[in-house]
Each structure stands twice: as C-alpha cells, then as structure tokens.
Amino acid sequence: MAALPADDHGFRLQVRAWLEANFPHELRFPTRRLDFRRSMDWHRKLAAQGWVAPGWPREYGGMGLSAYQQVIFSEELDRAGIVVIPNFGITMLGPLLIRFGTEQQKAYYLPRILSGEDLWCQGYSEPGAGSDLASLRTSAELDGDHWVVNGQKIWTTMAQQATHIFLLVRTDRTVKKQRGISFLLVPMDSPGITVRPIDNIDGYSEFAEVFFDDVRVPRDAMVGEVNQGWSMAKALLGSERILLGSPKLAKFPLQRLEALAHTLGLFEDPVFRDRYVTLAMEVEDMVALYVRLLEVLRRGESLGEEVSVLKLAVTELFQRVTDLLLEAAGEYGATDAVLQLSDGSTLKPVNPYYLSRPATIYGGSSEVQRNILAKALLRLPG
C-alpha cells in the first residue's frame, strides 16, 4: 500500500490526486449507482492500491484510517463523483469476521473480500421479519456435518450478482426468539438457492428475494457459537446503521444540488440560498456525530442505541435535501430528464429523490429508531 501522509490535509490531497488520475471519467456522477459488475474494475484498482477497506486494521489488509480520515476519504470519493452500491463484504462482514470469526475464517474469507473474488449480500430481512428482525423464520437444522437451510429472505441488495450471502437463521425454536438465532456464511451457487430480482420504481433491480430449499452448508460455515448469532447481529446492525446513517447520504445529493444551483443561477435567490445553507449546516452536524461514532468502532467497542440518532437524523435529512433538489429542478423534477450541469457532469434529479424515500424504512424504520431511543436512552415507558 502506498505510504499515507501523517497530516489530514496532505492525506486529502493525496487521495484527491489519485482518484483524479485513476477513476474513469465516463463513470463519474452516474445517473444511478454502479452495481457490483460495473464497479469491479474500480474495486480491483483500489485493491491494488491497498485502499479497498479504509476502516479495517492494517494487519488484515485495510488502510487503518482514523475516524476523521475515513470521512475525508468518503468526501473525496463523493467529490470525484464515485457512486457505487456498498460492498457488504467490506463494510459489514469483514469487520464482523475480524471481531468474531475463527482464525481459519479470517484467513480464508478476508483476502477474498479484499480482492473482489467474493462478493457478499446480506440475508437478514424476511417477509414477516423486517423491523422486528428477531421474528425471522428461516431455519437451519443440523444434519451430520451440515446445516440444512430452509426459508426466504427479501430486500436483499444485489443478491443477483453476489457470490455469497451471510445469513441469520433460526437454530432453536424452543427459546426466546433472540436466543435461538445463528450466523451462517453461504455460497450463492449452493443447490437449492433461488434468486428473484425485484424492480424498483426507476425500472432497475438492486433488490431481490432469495429462497432456500434444503440448502446444505458445512458445519464450520457458522460464525460464532450456535444460538449466539443475535449478539453478533446487533453488532452488525450497529455497523449497518452507521453505514446507513453516513452523512454522505445527504452530503452527496447536497453537492449535486449545489452544482444544479450554480447551473440555474439559484444562489441569486436569497430564499433558496438560506434553505441551502441551513441544510449544509445540518449535514456538517451529522459529520461530527459520525466521526464520534466511528471512533467507537475503531476502539473495538460496540455501538449502543445512540447510533439510532444518526440513522434517524441522516435519512430524514437525506429526504429534505432531495426534496429541495427536486424543487430546484423545476419542471425537470417531474420527468426522467438528465440535465447537463455547468461543471461538466450530468444529473437525473428524480434518482436521488427515489433513493431517499426508502432510506427511512430499511435498516430499521424511523418509527423503530424513535422507539429505541425513547426506551433505551430516555427511559420512557413502553
């Protein structure tokens, strides 16, 4: 991996220069997020540079960045117009394996995640277990040296392109629902797995349903102990909510709003300027909170219920930013128009708006986040 400057400003300039030299110009500011296949060449470039996993420790192939440096890295990706679907092996499974996996699991899976040989999707939500995830019914029963998995997952991002899936499964129905859950690693080409893509409102498929019909998984594919998956799931949900509460959710469309406003001359309007500055200040507040929570993860500690503040605030801010983006686009906000902006990039105003709508639902709805905060932090009666 290339040596990194010790000071944050030098680090920012190095990242900016490298991205400018290496990221394909034709992929900058795409009208929709780049999926696994379209971003794989870019993943390999990052891997060759040693920059695939900013938050992983160096001993496992990561960059070992501080919390603030991770924010800088993310900001420079946004500045360069790099918009890809999150790699769940990097952002979620890798940190979990580093903390809970066996040495054999870490030695086998982590290098394959970094190289892009393995692409992971997340098997959590089910038709009857979304916000109430502990009600999941997908089961795994031990048969000799294999777990036999039956059930269904839904809203599984990029399952149709992933090579593997990490699963929460029920391994004991006789105990309290949170205590009978385990964590499995499953190849997507296993016999008995069926994937059905789900088209979104913009006519393309990021999500899928995944069905398991007597899928056999080796016994050693379980992470952690049998029936102890919920504790790991909570740790991963904390990581997921800090991912889903990343201020870049709101900061990137704010940058696109700024570019649109310059193109249309909207900053001459004091009312628009006031609304824009208010949103920009709220985004910076979220950046400060994000850095604080990232530092908790870097210390190897678990995030508590306070992470719900970030997920709740950022996703609702994301929607307010895209509301103003759509309004600023005027008549183009009611069409599928792709606008040419004065900075040389393009913008399809409805796409950020579409992306922002489900943000307050997935990963735990805003209502669920408020209930968590009310009960766990404010100690209000249930």
d(CA 55, CA 300): 11
Q: Which of 240, 284, 295, 305 is catalytic?
A: 240
d(CA 225, CA 237): 18
Question: Phi, psi at residue 150, to the nearest 5°?
Answer: -135, 140
268 is catalytic: no
Structure tokens, 228? 């102890």
CA distances 187 to 106, 190, 192, 208, 313, Å, are: 16, 6, 11, 16, 35
CA 236 to chain centre: 11
d(CA 218, CA 211): 18
Give the residue among 324, 40, 62, 28 at the shortest CA–CA distance from 161. Answer: 40
d(CA 305, CA 41): 37
d(CA 37, CA 42): 10
Q: Cα-Cα-Cα-Cα dihedral of 229, 67, 80, 236, to 10°? A: 10
Neighbours of 216 (CB within 10 A): 15
Structure tokens, 167? 């699963």
d(CA 76, CA 337): 27
Beta-sheet pairing, 193-199 with 120-123? unpaired
Catalytic machinery residues:
240
